Amino acid sequence: MPPWDHSKIVQAAPSLKVGSRTIIDAAVFGPIKARWVAEHTAYDPPRMFEDKQLKGPFTTWRHRHSVLPNEQGAILRDEIEYEPPFRPFGRLAALIFIIPRLERLFAYRHNVTKEWAEKSEW
């Protein structure tokens, strides 16, 4: 979790295998929090894993993490499909709040992952 995010991991998934669950008390907006339960639904090591929201702040959420080889090493790709809550206002909120927050979150995660990979001895 980025240092600026006030979410708290209640239970980390023990692995990336299908059926593993993560529980997060997610900081949604200011002091408003939501319990987020995500379950791993696909796993193809070392290429991909996917999780879906079982309970949480979105109407629906699916997140696929893919590692794609290239000439310089690999590309980490995140594919996210989600439906924001509170239709039709949720779509407006997505443009103003959700998309910028996700972009900042994933930029941070990709940087942390890159630093970790560069330090690791393969």
How confident is the model over 101-110, as pLDDT tens digits? 899 999 999 8
- Supply the mean pLDDT for the chain: 90
Given CATH 3.30.530.20, say whether it is the number of domain 8-119.
yes
**Residue 43: is its pLDDT beyond 70?**
yes
Domain ranges within the chain, ordered by starting residue: 8-119
**Residue 55: is its pLDDT beyond 70?**
yes
**Residue 122: is its pLDDT beyond 80?**
no
Sorted by sequence, the CB contacts under 8 Å of residue 84 that are 6+ apart come out as 58, 59, 90, 91, 93, 94, 98
